[in-house]
Structure 1
Amino acid sequence: MLSLAPAATAVAAPTQLELHRLGGSVFLLCWTLEASPFGKPSIALTGGGRRLAAASISLGLRDGRERLAVAFRSSGHDSIVATLSDHGPQGDVTAAFDPALVHGLADPDDILKDLTPRARLALANALVRAWPPLFNLAAVPSYLSFLRQLLLALFPEPAAMQPSAALVEGRWLSETVVPADLDALRTAFRLDGAGLTRLELPSRLGAADRNGQRELHLVLEEPPVRGGGLLILQSERSLVVRTLPGRQAAPSLGRWWAGKAASRDGLRNWVIEQLAGLSEQGRLLAVEMQRRAPLAVQHVRRNDDLPAAELDLAVCNRAGLLIGGYLRDPDDLLEEVLLHRGTGEPIAMLSRLQRFPVRLPSGAEGETRAAIGFAAFAPDYAAGAPVLQPRCEIRLKSGTVLTLRPPVQPADAATIRARALSAIPPQYLTGAMLEETLAPILAACQEELRENRPEPEVKTFGRGPARPKASVVIPLYRVYDFLRVQVAAFAGDPWFAENAELIYVLDSPEHEAEVAHLLGGLHLAYGLPMQLLAMRRNGGFSAACNAGARQARGEALALVNSDVIPVGNGWLPALVAKLDKRRRIGAVGPKLLYEDGSLQHAGLFFKRDSKGTWLNHHYFKGMPGSYAPANVERPVPGVTGACIVMARELFGELGGFDESYVIGDYEDSDLCLKIRRAGLGIIYVPDVALYHLERQSISKSTDYTRGAASQHNAWLQMRRWDAQIAALMQAFETSAAEPALLQAQAPSEPDLVPRFSFRRATAA
């Protein structure tokens, strides 16, 4: 029962007051009044002397009046007083009522009557999105029944949300048509007997057609057997209701892919993104579908002076998309390069293009024409999904559009890395190109390889020492020519045979049977125990060494290349003996000789090139092995990873070799810099000599793009250690260790140069 009681200063009462039960103990008070010229009216509710929590919304009526709808919860013990204030001179108006007298559920038609279309939308949005969590209505059966009736009153015959294709992980791709004013899906809810549930639905809205309709694609969970629920889709300006049918046989993704997806670039890319985001199985299915039904390659090749272009590189990972190709535009007709994606506007790429000169065959007796090669990076493209054939457009100032599409691209990290390293010729690479274009995708490749690397398999040949004094870890990659000589030299060294643990790490798993057979034969021939760790996937020099170090048990760790051969016996204990904790020696390295006896390594130092980048150099490289300055034991900035000896515990504490460096270069100097940052020194020991057949193994690896990989690694080292290297080299060049270093370093970082008396050394 409702009774109106104007306050003392009021002279008129509202025209209409209604009370409805929404469900449980939640009610809706609707107060209809003439539009007020004094401001926005408001209603306050009190019961039992306390103000009640309430949520209100203002709804316009078709006749120009206004209806204030206030949702609130009643305890059922006290009458409630509603006070209406329109800020006018007539004052406030009060109404007293008892909600306990309202028994029946609200009639949706009564609540919706006379409301404008916009008001109906606003009320529905409040009933679906705002009020259920506020009043805990999402699981109240009576409220769910009322809400269903109200939605069906707004949408008497909602269309069904039919499945288009079965995906993975119990997900369906579903499709429907919605009005064009559903401009962006904000929220989605499922309404069924289990409750009102908010859904996180990946969605894609197509462009509006001439009939004012848009295609909407959603990724839904497989429905229950009986179905019968409603799907509520809300945007800022619209609300759409669809029925959810029961479980049925969904079409296969392959059939859908061969049909609609084949002609819809954006939709195809969007589905790829959704599959990749579901699981690893989904990512693999996305790759399979693209390879099973590839799109036609598109390019523009011409021998005249009209614009020509080709896109032959488009590799994608979690960092983004790297594209590459060439352009010919002799008359400067190019306006923009656009990269299309699954949703949203195309990405303008022209300002991101890194350009370099190339020559193209003209087709006449080996003649060539000048063109512009390019590479560009689009970060976060497709959320890292493996889009293997993205579409690119070349827009000319004349309005002409040229479409480019590459062949199907690789999806695995190792091949993407190799393609990225060949995107820009090494002679044209700059620091800016590396930082803006190549480095992000290479870093993501290294991270992916590290995350997804299976544990290596271990094969043992013979029984090594129970408590080895030193572990020797040697990475192998595709070239095994030096193993016979190396194992023979190790086996002929009594100390090595008795005290050392030998661990080979194979980083080319396709050769596992061949290498295992070879090592097994060498063990039988020489009796030297050894282990073979076979990586299940190629990870590079750093990953192989780190895996071997984790397997090692010796107190000292020697990291040695497969093309390093000892000159004589006793080399390993002589190096281990130099690891003096009292002198804070962190690592030692020997003299390394070329085949002809000339010096390959007498310590590592840093020197800037013409561009200001720090490069790694070896002292006295190429000088005779007997060269006097190279035969003095001394501190050095670093030693090469071809043979470095240090405590195994220290190697682990420092995180081993940094696997961010690509393939194999500069990770040894990075490790040396970490040793110095820990406050430890590095010693060159010329009394120990080994032959190093430098890079004879790696130069035979066809996937090693030395120029680009080496430049990337030099850039990465420079980016991380520039100031520290400068201070370190200044200290070595001036023989003033700490003062100069402290001035260059951040106060919180340990010194890179311990307290040594430096002896000067000059580089050849």
Structure 2
Amino acid sequence: MLSLAPVAMATTSPAQLELHRLGGSVFLLCWTLEASPFGKPAIALTGGGRRLPAASISLGLRDGRERLVVAFRSSGHDNVVATLTDHGPQGDVTAGFDPTLVHGLADPAELLKELAPQARLTLANALVRSWPPLFGLAAIPNYLSFLRQLLLTLFPKPAAMQPTAALVEGQWLFETAVPADFGALQGVARLDGAGLSRLDLKARLGATDRSGKRELHLVLDAPPSRGGGLLILQGERSLVLRALPGRQAAASLGRWWAGKAASRDGLRNWVVEQLAGLSEQGRLLAIEMQRRVPLAVQHVRRSDDLPAAELDLAVCNRAGLLIGGWLRDPDDLLEEVLLHRGNGEPIAMLAHLQRFPVRLPAGADGETRAATGFAGFASDYATGAPVLQPRCEIKLKSGTTLTLRPPVQPADAVTIRARALAAIPPQYLTADMLGTTLAPVLAACQEDLRDSRPEPTVRMFGQPLARPKASVVIPLYRVYDFLRVQVAAFAGDRWFAENAELIYVLDSPEHEAEVAHLLGGLHLAYGLPMRLVAMRRNGGFSAACNAGANQARGEVLALVNSDVIPTANDWLPALIARLDRGARVGAVGPKLLYDDGSLQHAGLFFKRDSKGTWLNHHYFKGMPGSYAPANVERPVPGVTGACIVMARDLYEELGGFDESYVIGDYEDSDLCLKIRRAGFGILYVPDVALYHLERQSIARSIDYTRGAASQHNAWLQSQRWGAQIDALMQAFETSAPELALPAPVAPSEPDLVPRFGFRRATAA
């Protein structure tokens, strides 16, 4: 070890002063002194009259002395002066030296020789973690050589990281063991011929086993052919060195899954998270492995009064995990419900469970027993990875725990949405249940469906119009009973045949061949050109309408249901004529009749239910079609999506139908509210009448539960538009005219009151 040649310039010299080269122009000054009773000593470095940037640590020696170690960079042109301040009565001590006299690298063995065990780790952590980025050492070859020697001096024969399974995208799962006192993992670095690099890795530390070790799992790049690198694991209270092996045969993921993963569900869930975070291929592999090697279903069913429970719902997406099931606890023995995850402490769920009464079968003769149904949502579970069989524990006040595990759960968004809608019986749903438990999962399902939706296929029957004035978009879902009548009515309307393009959007792609055959036959029979847009996957009413609008070429867009039949010709031009940008009429809707001639729709309005949620209603619904108040043209709060006519550019400007609404409900009123937010009014035109055989197709949807889906959509509309709907309905109910049309305002503060003077309209 090189001692400094210059002597201290103060009357009292330090016990020991040494200078070492770390690499390049970076040096290490070591100043050893007796422990100071006056305070923590510090060293300042100056060169050429300027203070040098430096980083220092204090290290304890085995004999009780203290060593201040300072890393600094020197340009080599000036002598360096070190000033030691120990707050003692003798004052500061200074020493001058010339770093250019130090040529050889520091000797790791000499640096470590006198240090206490914890001081060795402190120095190693600084050399690995703090100083390389500060002084640009991570790629200097002689520093990397020095650091490798120092680490191998601390850990002469590092164990090898063991690859346990090959994953995807060139990633492997590695396993090793660390001491029980390792603490939380603070960082991981890799040292090899390419340099010293910090790795941004997710790791899982297991519990301490009988031998006093803790398992550590990491996902790393597949090792190179020759290997030879070192992996540095930095813990809160320890540092662990592992040798990275060369390329070798790793076990298949399937074999590992059937072995260790089958008995370690926390580790299994963690690997699921890692796979899902790698790529779509990884996510699909995680789903496959869970289905290929499922865990045993666990529940507690009892016929006595001891606690019993079952977990039958545990669907997971990017929002979190939704669980549901039932429990019986007649003697109030339940203390907590714990939801286990891949890493970290279990999530306490009891305070977040929504409860409702259920009846359980109790015998072959149809007897039932009262129980408590529950549903709960954990937002921070598994980062949206598809964990299909999470473990839940019922913890009793006696200390007993009951383990619950559901059957393998669905991973696709459509089925997750259907299961979420059935999680809580509609009669028990409240706004709080929707907002805290169901809405996050449903919103994530809608986003997943939108983001992953394939492009539809398009087929044309006949020669399309060169320049259509209007585009009529009609979504189809499983019910095609009215197509013949509807197409015949359109074909018999001369204006329609000469000026409108007809676009059908099929939202049940399994019926594409059948519907294409039907439309092809109708084209041959009536000569009316039409386009079929076939969705590759069911996306709901909003997505279907938006897909059709994307194909539209007309200046005006008419969105019409498949069960709407005109009563007379020229219905479409009569509605188009009422659109007027100058008068700020943004959308119009006709009178809709049931097949018996009674009113189904004479404009849409909003009314609160007993829970304060804004619901959609139709003026005069059920009254005779000739009912006088329903035959007055007037502005209305909104019109139904069964038939709404508006400018296509306005539809596109507003983003079309919002696909956040589940399946098909309330997106029409949401669009009307967006039209008003843009500064336009909405007009009801009773001179145009059409038949509407209401909800014939939506009732065929396996996901549509009128209570759950509709309540969610009403809740969502109320959350978004509650204050604005309140102001709008007050204006209509008081017949208060708006004297001037305001400029469009930001979406957060929309003004929905139209320019028209209002006439009072009452609901039947």
Bin of the TM-score, shorter chain as denominator length: over 0.9
Q: Deviations over 1:487-522 (max 9, x none)?
A: 111111111111100000011111111111111111
Q: In structure 2, what is the equivalent of residue 253 of structure 1?
A: 253
TM-score normalised by structure 2 residue count: 0.98
Q: In structure 2, what is the equivalent of residue 516 of structure 1?
A: 516
Q: Which segment is superposed worse, 708-717 or 753-762?
A: 753-762
Q: CA separation in 1, counterparts of 2:432 and 2:79?
A: 74
Counterpart residue identity of residue 207, structure 1: A
Q: CA deviation at 1:478?
A: 1.1
Q: CA deviation at 1:579?
A: 0.4
Q: Is the Cα contact below 8 Å between 2:724 and 2:750 reproduced in 1?
A: no
Q: CA separation in 2, counterparts of 1:405 and 1:741?
A: 59
1:179-328 equivalence runs, <5 A: 179-328=179-328
Question: Matched residue of 2:182: which SS?
Answer: coil
Q: CA deviation at 1:142?
A: 0.4
Unpaired segments of 5 or more residues in structure 2?
none
Q: Is the Cα contact below 8 Å between 2:741 and 2:754 reproduced in 1?
A: no
Question: Matched residue of 1:207: which SS?
Answer: strand
> How much is the aligned-residue C-alpha RMSD, in angstroms?
1.5
Q: Deviations over 1:183-241 (max 9, x none)?
A: 11111111011100110111000001232210000000112111100000112211110
Q: CA separation in 2, counterparts of 1:16 and 1:759?
A: 97
Q: CA deviation at 1:90?
A: 1.1
Closer/same/farther in 2, CA of residues 748 and 562 from structure 1, 3 Å limit: closer
* Identity value in percent: 84
Q: Is the Cα contact below 8 Å between 2:17 and 2:31 reproduced in 1?
A: yes
Q: Is the Cα contact below 8 Å between 1:496 and 1:570 reproduced in 2?
A: yes
Q: In structure 1, what is the equivalent of residue 54 of structure 2?
A: 54
Q: Is the Cα contact below 8 Å between 2:576 and 2:645 reproduced in 1?
A: yes
Q: Is the Cα contact below 8 Å between 1:22 and 1:146 reproduced in 2?
A: yes
Q: Is the Cα contact below 8 Å between 2:9 and 2:96 reproduced in 1?
A: no
Q: In structure 2, what is the equivalent of residue 488 of structure 1?
A: 488
- Aligned pair count reads 760
Q: Is the Cα contact below 8 Å between 1:163 and 1:175 reproduced in 2?
A: yes
Q: CA separation in 2, counterparts of 1:255 and 1:410?
A: 23
Q: Does 1:431 align with 2:470?
A: no
Q: Which segment is superposed worse, 242-251 or 426-435?
A: 242-251
Counterpart residue identity of residue 626, structure 1: S
Question: Matched residue of 1:294: which SS?
Answer: coil
TM-score normalised by structure 1 residue count: 0.98
Q: CA separation in 1, counterparts of 2:41 and 2:699?
A: 82
Q: CA deviation at 1:76?
A: 2.1
Q: Is the Cα contact below 8 Å between 1:727 and 1:740 reproduced in 2?
A: no
Counterpart residue identity of residue 596, structure 1: D
Counterpart residue identity of residue 171, structure 1: Q
Q: Is the Cα contact below 8 Å between 1:268 and 1:342 reproduced in 2?
A: yes
Q: CA deviation at 1:182?
A: 1.5
Q: In structure 2, what is the equivalent of residue 663 of structure 1?
A: 663
Q: In structure 2, what is the equivalent of residue 570 of structure 1?
A: 570
Q: CA deviation at 1:701?
A: 2.5
Q: Is the Cα contact below 8 Å between 1:395 and 1:401 reproduced in 2?
A: yes
Q: In structure 2, what is the equivalent of residue 541 of structure 1?
A: 541
Q: CA separation in 1, counterparts of 2:292 and 2:671?
A: 45
Q: Is the Cα contact below 8 Å between 2:740 and 2:755 reproduced in 1?
A: no
Q: In structure 2, what is the equivalent of residue 353 of structure 1?
A: 353
Q: CA separation in 1, counterparts of 2:50 and 2:340?
A: 59
Q: In structure 1, what is the equivalent of residue 498 of structure 2?
A: 498
Q: In structure 2, what is the equivalent of residue 120 of structure 1?
A: 120
Alignment partner of 1:2 out of 1, 4, 17: 4
Q: Deviations over 1:661-715 (max 9, x none)?
A: 0000000001111111111111111110100000122213332112100000000
Question: Matched residue of 1:2: which SS?
Answer: coil
Q: In structure 2, what is the equivalent of residue 409 of structure 1?
A: 409
Q: Is the Cα contact below 8 Å between 2:321 and 2:378 reproduced in 1?
A: yes
Q: Does 1:704 align with 2:704?
A: yes
Q: In structure 1, what is the equivalent of residue 132 of structure 2?
A: 132
Question: Matched residue of 1:737: which SS?
Answer: coil
Q: CA separation in 2, counterparts of 1:77 and 1:582?
A: 79
Q: Which segment is superposed worse, 639-648 or 514-523?
A: 514-523
Counterpart residue identity of residue 710, structure 1: S
Q: Which segment is superposed worse, 695-704 or 132-141?
A: 695-704
Q: In structure 2, what is the equivalent of residue 149 of structure 1?
A: 149
Q: CA deviation at 1:741?
A: 12
Question: Matched residue of 1:525: which SS?
Answer: helix
Q: CA separation in 2, counterparts of 1:737 and 1:717?
A: 25
Q: CA separation in 2, counterparts of 1:612 and 1:245?
A: 65
Q: In structure 2, what is the equivalent of residue 36 of structure 1?
A: 36
Q: CA separation in 2, counterparts of 1:231 and 1:86?
A: 38
1:620-699 equivalence runs, <5 A: 620-699=620-699
Q: Is the Cα contact below 8 Å between 1:475 and 1:504 reproduced in 2?
A: yes
Q: CA separation in 1, counterparts of 2:16 and 2:747?
A: 75
Closer/same/farther in 2, CA of residues 373 and 125 from structure 1, 3 Å limit: same
Q: CA separation in 2, counterparts of 1:370 and 1:310?
A: 14
Q: CA separation in 2, counterparts of 1:71 and 1:283?
A: 46
Q: Deviations over 1:432-482 (max 9, x none)?
A: 000010000000000111111111110100112111010000001111111
Q: CA separation in 2, counterparts of 1:96 and 1:678?
A: 75
Q: CA separation in 1, counterparts of 2:380 and 2:559?
A: 38
Q: Deviations over 1:538-596 (max 9, x none)?
A: 11000000111111000000000000011111111111111012211000000000010
Q: In structure 2, what is the equivalent of residue 756 of structure 1?
A: 756
Q: In structure 2, what is the equivalent of residue 386 of structure 1?
A: 386
Q: Is the Cα contact below 8 Å between 1:7 and 1:91 reproduced in 2?
A: no
Q: Is the Cα contact below 8 Å between 1:78 and 1:98 reproduced in 2?
A: yes
Q: In structure 1, what is the equivalent of residue 336 of structure 2?
A: 336
Q: In structure 2, what is the equivalent of residue 452 of structure 1?
A: 452
Question: Matched residue of 1:246: which SS?
Answer: coil
Unpaired segments of 5 or more residues in structure 1?
none
Q: In structure 2, what is the equivalent of residue 66 of structure 1?
A: 66
Q: In structure 2, what is the equivalent of residue 102 of structure 1?
A: 102
Q: In structure 1, what is the equivalent of residue 440 of structure 2?
A: 440
Question: Matched residue of 2:251: which SS?
Answer: coil
Q: CA separation in 2, counterparts of 1:335 and 1:270?
A: 27
Question: Matched residue of 2:20: which SS?
Answer: strand
Q: CA separation in 1, counterparts of 2:256 and 2:492?
A: 67
Closer/same/farther in 2, CA of residues 156 and 508 from structure 1, 3 Å limit: same
Question: Matched residue of 2:21: which SS?
Answer: strand
Q: CA separation in 2, counterparts of 1:602 and 1:26?
A: 83
Q: In structure 2, what is the equivalent of residue 165 of structure 1?
A: 165
Q: CA deviation at 1:4?
A: 5.2
Q: Deviations over 1:634-668 (max 9, x none)?
A: 11110000000000000000110111100000000
Question: Matched residue of 2:83: which SS?
Answer: strand
Counterpart residue identity of residue 32, structure 1: T
Q: CA deviation at 1:750?
A: 4.7
Closer/same/farther in 2, CA of residues 719 and 748 from structure 1, 3 Å limit: closer
Q: Is the Cα contact below 8 Å between 1:461 and 1:523 reproduced in 2?
A: yes
Question: Matched residue of 1:738: which SS?
Answer: coil
Q: CA separation in 2, counterparts of 1:200 and 1:561?
A: 52
Q: CA separation in 2, counterparts of 1:685 and 1:273?
A: 55
Q: Is the Cα contact below 8 Å between 1:546 and 1:657 reproduced in 2?
A: yes
Q: Is the Cα contact below 8 Å between 2:9 and 2:95 reproduced in 1?
A: no
